[in-house]
């Protein structure tokens, strides 16, 4: 794939950016009605629309947050090898979309831990694939299938409830009870919503003798991820050392 010259980029910006700015102003003022269900799209869409004026400048340089929010969904299988305390680890990242799930079984042989990633803020959003299935319900169903599979009876499963920053904002504005009628508590109190989310996933487990390790994370908060990484590292190392001793 080729690269665009500065002059071409300048021409594109001068031609299209004013229209994008006007559309964004209309959106903010309520004069522009979106023709698609916004619940299908990631929160990154709103972020970039809100920052359109800054991004459209010819002098624009992506910020750290811009880069993190511009990440694309994993497709296929991506492997990462690293060493912790002289012990080699292989992390396998698989795509979560429905079309990608048939590839998961290629990665299950010999695994010791599963890091199950969920977007904690998507309780009011639907899947792109069918535009009707609640994203959080879909995640719970997948989790139920994995956590109760006999193949993983000796595998430590760690639940990551990601996008905490967006959950904080959403809890203030969106009543979770409208989407999950069994919710009990204050729908605008973060702690109540967090407890409920963990309970939802915990109820999917048939065997509750083993603890459910879980962490609320914010992927774009490097300090938070660093803290969680070390906590998870210790959990995985402890689990593997126990297996070795047995």
97 annotated ligand-binding residue: yes
The SS3 call for residue 115 is strand
- For 93, list phi and psi in degrees, rounded to 5: -100, 125
229 alpha-carbon distance from chain centroid: 16
- 162 in a labelled binding site: yes
Report whether 56 belongs to an annotated binding site. Answer: no
Q: What is the CB neighbour count within 10 angstroms for residue 164?
A: 19
Annotated ligand binding at 95? The verdict is yes
Does 73 carry a binding-site annotation?
A: yes
70 is in an annotated binding site: yes
Q: Which residue has the tokens 């001068």?
A: 14
Beta strands in 68-121 (DSSP E): 77-84, 87-94, 113-119
CA dist list (Å): 107 to 28, 129, 158, 237: 45, 24, 17, 20
Instruction: Give the CA diameter of the chain.
Output: 67
163 labeled binding residue: yes
Q: Does 165 appear as a known binding residue?
A: yes
231 among the known binding-site residues?
no
Looking at the chain, list the stretches that DSSP marks H as alpha helix, in order from N- to C-terminal side: 6-29, 43-50, 52-55, 64-69, 135-147, 164-173, 190-202, 222-245
164 is in an annotated binding site: yes
Residue 68 marked ligand-binding: yes
Known binding residue 69? Answer is yes
Residue 150 marked as a ligand binder: no
On whether 170 is known to bind a ligand per the annotation, the reply is no
Is 1 annotated in some ligand binding site?
no
For residue 123, CA distances in Å to 27, 41, 118, 136, 197 come to 24, 13, 11, 5, 9
What residues are designated binding site for GTP? Answer: 68-74, 93-97, 162-165, 219
What residues are designated binding site? Answer: 68-74, 93-97, 162-165, 219
What residues are designated binding site for Mg(2+)? Answer: 74
């Amino acid at each position: 794939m080729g690269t665009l010259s500065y002059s071409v980029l300048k021409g594109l910006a001068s031609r299209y950016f004013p229209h994008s700015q006007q559309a964004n102003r209309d959106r903010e003022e309520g004069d522009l009605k979106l023709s698609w269900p916004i619940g299908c799209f990631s929160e990154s869409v709103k972020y970039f629309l809100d920052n359109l004026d800054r991004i459209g400048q010819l002098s624009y340089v992506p910020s750290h947050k811009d880069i993190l929010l511009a990440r694309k969904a994993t497709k296929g299988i991506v492997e990462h090898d690293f060493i912790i305390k002289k012990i080699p680890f292989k992390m396998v990242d698989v795509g979560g979309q429905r079309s990608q799930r048939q590839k998961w079984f290629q990665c299950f042989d010999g695994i010791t831990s599963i890091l199950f990633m969920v977007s904690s803020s998507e309780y009011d959003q639907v899947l792109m694939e069918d535009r009707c299935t609640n994203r959080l319900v879909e995640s719970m169903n997948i989790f139920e299938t994995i956590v109760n599979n006999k193949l993983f009876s000796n595998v430590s499963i760690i639940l990551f409830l990601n996008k905490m920053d967006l959950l904080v904002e959403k809890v203030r504005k969106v009543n979770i009870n409208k989407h999950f009628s069994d919710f009990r508590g204050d729908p605008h109190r973060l702690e109540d919503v967090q407890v409920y989310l963990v309970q939802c996933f915990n109820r999917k487990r048939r065997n509750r003798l083993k603890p459910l390790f879980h962490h609320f994370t914010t992927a774009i908060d490097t300090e938070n991820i660093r803290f969680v990484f070390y906590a998870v590292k210790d959990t995985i190392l402890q689990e593997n050392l126990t297996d070795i001793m047995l």
